[in-house]
A and B are shown apart, each in its own frame.
Chain A
Amino acid sequence: MYSEKVMDHFMNPRNVGTIDNPDGVGEEGNPSCGDIMKMYLKVENDVILDAKFQTFGCGAAIASSSMATEMIKGKTLEEAWQLSNKAVAEALDGLPPIKMHCSVLAEETIHKAINDYLVKTGREPWGEPAACSTCGHDCDTCGE
């Protein structure tokens, strides 16, 4: 069902945890949908020095969080913003179609964390955070 890379990032997730006094925090998902991703960023001169995550979710959600944090570390905010869910999924050697929403969750969580940082530093957020489209089903709170 999952690629070796997904299993590797699920079994040995990179960057699990929190950052004390983070510069940006983003959270996306909903427990009733079965997925919540939370990311913490350490940013200096608009470069992401460190990223950590906590995830409630399936194997694909945990692997996507792990891979996404790996991919944004050392990137500028703009580069990190450009990281698409597709790129996260490709870096994991693909996700089953039903699990693609997990990579979307990662992309949206990064956007939220970046916007949190921008707002905290007195800047305008970049674009509207996407409405929750993480679930793939129509639970009340997800707005789908």
Chain B
Amino acid sequence: MDHAATTYAAPEVVAEMLPYFSEKFGNPSSVYNIGQENKTAVDAARAKVAAAINAEPNEIYFTAGGSESDNWALKGVAFANSRKGKHIITTAIEHHAILHAGEWLQSQGFEVTYLPVDKFGVVSVTDVEKAIRPDTILISVMYANNEVGTIQPIKEIGSIAKAHNIYFHTDAVQAVGHVPIDVKAEHIDMLSLSGHKFYGPKGVGALYIKKGVRIQNLIHGGAQESKHRAGTENVPGIVGLGVAIERAVQKMPVEAPRLARMRDRLTAELLKIPASHLNGHPTQRLPNNVNITFEYIEGEGILLLLNMFGICASTGSACNSASLEPSHVLTAMGVPHEISHGSVRLTVGERNTDEDVKYVLEKLPEIIHKLRSMSPLTPKELK
């Protein structure tokens, strides 16, 4: 129930990857046959990734994952376009790969506007347009939020960026493979994705860069990835990424509604627990994401008890992280700190069934009750 953190690599994905570790191990840059065989495999994967988001194969660049893709998009555009301007627009609820890259760019003389979100975690399209300045060079808004699952009005933001001749990047790490994406129709200039969020391997991702986008390289060295990203290709990973994305898109019409049914059942039943609140948008959200706050208790305790029953989940609670800061996403949505500590994220996936949902619905209310009975904040009527 924590598929937003990572998915397993699907068996058919692993099966396709395996030969590239030890049998078909050539370097794609080598001219001999086993090298060229690998180049062909990498290009086939590139075509699959492109097809999944309606891009062209030569617009797909393989990276080490979502964080590298996000960093490349922000820093690459910033440094390639600094003569035009030094202003970037993003949101307060982005992944840290965007937020921290933005902070670093600020230390390098760039200006970053972090747009607020409403109580559902949605960025206002009007706010995006208002934030545009003559020196704005990039708008970066995530496709769907990793914590609360809210999907942003990407097409509208893309249209605004296009009308103002500003590059538009979206961190679609949580969305790819779960919702249909069309970079052309949605006016997306750059898009980050990561293999392990849709049953592919970890440590491999891609950045879609629309042809014509001015962007600096982050990694310098050899001539791989059309001279834009040096380093011998992670061929098994790239092959796996290609198979996984093709598979996810094929399964989406059946799998997304199935997950959404489980999501909706979990949400409806868990909201019957008194003093509980849904986080994120009630309808405009990822098909697999449930995020609920239970007042008067703290999320880490919920996770530890869930774990005792073999249920994996996540929390926006500070106590579960190294920083002790509560979730920046919930904070930006206006959820008070004392309440955000009790949030739990459940993200269903392929192997989850109605039985799993039933099991969680048996255990989680018990856990909430147990922790509430220990908490000095719980009103008497809830103990």
A117–B308 Cα distance when bound, in Å, is 39
Question: How many A-B Cβ pairs are below 8 Å?
Answer: 75
Contacts of B300 in A (CB 8 A): 58-59
State whether A36 and B376 are in contact (beta carbons under 8 Å apart), knowing that A137-B323, A139-B337 are contacts in the complex: yes
Q: Would you call B375 and A55 a contact (CB within 8 A)?
A: yes
A138–B319 Cα distance when bound, in Å, is 14
CB distance from B276 to the nearest CB of A (A): 16
Chain A contact residues: helix, strand, loop or mixed = mixed
Q: Does B231 have its Cβ within 8 Å of any Cβ on chain A?
A: no
Q: Would you call B324 and A56 a contact (CB within 8 A)?
A: no
Among the 9-residue stretches A8-16, A78-86, A87-95, A123-131, the one with 4 or more Cβ atoms under 8 Å from chain B is A8-16
Q: Would you call B298 and A57 a contact (CB within 8 A)?
A: yes
Q: Would you call B317 and A59 a contact (CB within 8 A)?
A: no
Selected contact of A38 from candidates B301, B320, B376, CB within 8 Å: B376
In this complex, what residue of B is CB-closest to A140?
Answer: B337
Q: Does B326 have its Cβ within 8 Å of any Cβ on chain A?
A: yes
A62–B305 Cα distance when bound, in Å, is 12
A118–B337 Cα distance when bound, in Å, is 34
Q: Would you call A54 and B298 a contact (CB within 8 A)?
A: no
A118–B383 Cα distance when bound, in Å, is 31
Q: Does B341 have its Cβ within 8 Å of any Cβ on chain A?
A: yes
Q: A11-B305, A34-B319, A38-B376 are in contact. List 8 more A-B contacts (CB 8 A).
A: A10-B304, A33-B318, A34-B298, A34-B341, A56-B296, A56-B375, A57-B301, A59-B300
A-B contact pairs, 11 of them (CB 8 A): A2-B304, A16-B373, A36-B376, A54-B376, A56-B298, A56-B376, A58-B319, A58-B320, A61-B319, A62-B301, A137-B325
Q: Would you call A31 and B324 a contact (CB within 8 A)?
A: no
CB distance from A133 to the nearest CB of B (A): 12
State whether A13 and B308 are in contact (beta carbons under 8 Å apart), knowing that A34-B326, A58-B300, A58-B319 are contacts in the complex: no
Q: Does B377 have its Cβ within 8 Å of any Cβ on chain A?
A: yes
The winner among B323, B373, B375 for most chain A CB atoms within 10 A is B375
B positions within 8 Å CB-CB of A? 296-298, 300-301, 304-305, 308, 317-320, 322-326, 336-338, 341, 373-377
A13–B304 Cα distance when bound, in Å, is 14
CB distance from A38 to the nearest CB of B (A): 4
A58–B317 Cα distance when bound, in Å, is 9
Q: Would you call A57 and B319 a contact (CB within 8 A)?
A: yes
Q: Would you call A10 and B376 a contact (CB within 8 A)?
A: no
Q: Does A135 have its Cβ within 8 Å of any Cβ on chain B?
A: yes
Within 8 A of B (CB), among A50-87: 54-62
In this complex, what residue of A is CB-closest to B320?
Answer: A58
State whether A58 and B298 are in contact (beta carbons under 8 Å apart), knowing that A11-B308, A32-B336, A34-B317 are contacts in the complex: yes
A54–B374 Cα distance when bound, in Å, is 5
Contacts of B320 in A (CB 8 A): 58
Q: Would you call B324 and A27 a contact (CB within 8 A)?
A: no
Q: Would you call A34 and B324 a contact (CB within 8 A)?
A: yes
A34–B298 Cα distance when bound, in Å, is 7
